A = this chain, B = another copy of it.
Amino acid sequence: MGNRSKLKPKKISKKEEMTDNHKKNGYSKLLGIKGLSAKAKIFDILAGGKIAFLNTQEAMENDIYPAYRGVLKKGNKELVVMFDLTENLVKKGEIGLFAEVEKELKAKEGEQIIIKHLERPASIDYIRKKLDGKFLEDKEMNVIIKDLMDNRLSQVELAAFVSAMYIRGVNYEETVSLANSIVNSGDTLNLHKKPILDKHCVGGVAGNRTTMIVVPIIAAAGCYIPKSSSRAITSAAGTADTMEVLAPVDIQMDELKRIVLKTKGAIVWGGGMNLAAADDKLIKIRHPLSLDPKGVVLASVLSKKKAVNATHVIIDIPIGRGAKFQDMDVAKDLANDFINIGKKLGMKIEAVITDGSDPIGNGIGPALECKDVLEVLEGKGPYDLREKSCALAGGLLELAGKAPKGRGMAIAEDLINNEKALKKFREIIGEQGGNPRIKIDELPIGEYIYQVKAEKSGRIGHVDSKILSKIARAAGSPKDIGAGIVLHREAGDKVRKGEVILSVYSESETKIEFAIKALEALNPIELEQYLLKSVR
């Protein structure tokens, strides 16, 4: 269209001039030119995000505002950051890098960094699509997770995405796409072996430390089981916290590979590796409003299994009062979803619905739960923990075809009775860098003890996992590994007035006081009422 008028402006060609104009006019957004160059100035501020700061005047001249997001480029390395502005801390031509940014870009003081405007990420249209109730294609889900990993999506955009999945729902295909994208977002463990077994518990039951018994049994049975576990969020101890009493769990991928190839089993902290990296970012968004869309939960769990190339997985779904799920039908649906999505991801899955109405084992808190675990492996210890662990291990062996149908549990029990599981566990502890000869009475149990006695005789009706967790945390766990609770009686037991029913352990006088305060406010143990009403 259109020919030139008489006032014919001359063409601008040389890139340098463009950049000068860009500096003057900040039109890179409009025409995407090569960007602004600035000298790195390192600040040691940990911002909990990728943040850089610019001289206020220079920023304004370049259409950059506080909390505006842009791209930093050093060599071929690009990083999306959020900008803070400062009058004095950096001059024009300089850019201040906070700790996370310095680390990511491997930038040194005085190095030249290119600042570019951020193009609108394609995934924004896909998030809109989800908000509008349409389902996402595999490729669209991948782009969203990739942009999430590249830090191209803001908290607002991510929260909208999670909210949309929560309200609109996530179908099977989307769940599979999401799980696969999450797997691809991080590193994977490639043992090049088959089968690779794994287990997961949807959680909510205090003292439920089966993993530390299942793993040595499975490994002793000759199967690979590279187990990555989590730390406690609201509970008194996660498996990672508990294992850490005996050996380091913050172990890198290649070290994990070495350990598992040698001992067949390991129990490490998942957060320490880069497995299913996108999942951790999504959890940070889901947490504040506890937005747990079913499909996202399924993808979150199964992507972590897929990332270690698991072939056979057993999933423990405890139900009952105090557990995450109360209703059998809800649990059954979840079980079927795990099995079906797992199949689509190429994993054979068995889901077992277990009784989660009361705590498993006697100890609650890292060191106290270790005590239970070691006792069970020594052929003693809490019967319920031993039973459940052998059932899970046996089921897993049968699922993988390593035990005849119906014989799995017996095989698991044999491996405890002949102490092969104990031997294997000590071998794993040693390989992970712990003391393989640790004795139970060497465990660092807190020295401050407070005993709770029955106020009257009766039968224990309910022991509440959530309340016990609160009290154990008040006493210091999981931070203080010796803190926690020991249950001397369990639901169904008859108790006499004055009999000790539980003991609280703490490492400090202060914290045992906190626990006592919590105990005064919350009652973890209910006695059954016999006399409901007396009539005269």
Q: Which residues of A pack against B, CB within 8 Å?
A: 1-5, 7, 9-12, 21, 24-25, 27, 30-31, 43-49, 51, 53, 56, 65-68, 83-89, 98, 124, 127-128, 131, 133, 154-160, 162-164, 166-168, 285, 288-291, 448-453, 455, 473-474, 476, 500, 503, 508-514, 516-520, 523, 525
Contact = CB atoms under 8 A, between A and B. Distances in A.
A523 B449 CA distance: 81
Contact of A67 (B24, B49, B517, B518): B49
Given A12-B513, A30-B474, A291-B131, A3 B157 contact: no
21 contacts: A1-B452, A1-B523, A9-B513, A25-B510, A31-B514, A31-B517, A44-B89, A45-B85, A46-B56, A84-B98, A124-B288, A127-B289, A131-B291, A133-B167, A156-B156, A156-B285, A158-B159, A159-B160, A160-B289, A163-B167, A167-B167
A51 B84 CA distance: 10
B157 A156 contact: no
**Chain A's interface: helix, strand, loop or mixed, by majority?**
mixed
A118 to B, nearest CB: 11
Contacts of A291: 131, 160
Contacts of A53: 45
Contact of A164 (B83, B167, B518): B167
A402 to B, nearest CB: 43
Contacts of A155: 154-156, 159
A6 to B, nearest CB: 9
Nearest to A43: B89
Nearest to A286: B156
For A43, A288, A453, A517, which residue has the most chain B Cβ atoms within 10 angstroms? A288
Nearest to A47: B84
B84 A45 contact: yes
Q: How many copies does the complex hold?
A: 2
B289 A124 contact: yes
A68 B287 CA distance: 13
Contact of A4 (B84, B127, B157, B450): B450
A9 B450 contact: yes
A514 B22 CA distance: 11
Given A46-B85, A48-B84, A98-B84, A519 B2 contact: yes
Contact of A46 (B84, B164, B503): B84
A56 B98 CA distance: 14
Contact of A512 (B9, B87, B290, B508): B9
A520 B31 CA distance: 13
A519 B2 CA distance: 9
Contact of A510 (B21, B83, B162): B21
Nearest to A125: B289
Contacts of A476: 25
Given A31-B514, A45-B89, A49-B67, 8 more contacts: A2-B451, A2-B455, A4-B450, A9-B509, A27-B511, A45-B84, A131-B291, A156-B159
Contacts of A7: 448-450
Contact of A448 (B9, B513, B525): B9
A64 to B, nearest CB: 10
Contacts of A4: 450
Nearest to A509: B9
Nearest to A31: B514
Top-9 shortest CB links A-B: A48-B66, A48-B67, A159-B159, A2-B452, A163-B163, A5-B451, A46-B85, A156-B159, A155-B155
A162 B518 CA distance: 37
Contacts of A48: 65-68, 83-85
Nearest to A159: B159
A267 B449 CA distance: 72
Given A84-B98, A131-B167, A455-B2, A514 B30 contact: yes
A288 B9 contact: no
Contacts of A51: 84
Contacts of A158: 156, 159
B289 A156 contact: yes
Contacts of A45: 53, 84-86, 89
A44 B2 contact: no
Nearest to A284: B156
A449 B8 CA distance: 9
A17 to B, nearest CB: 8
Contacts of A85: 45-48
A45 B56 CA distance: 9
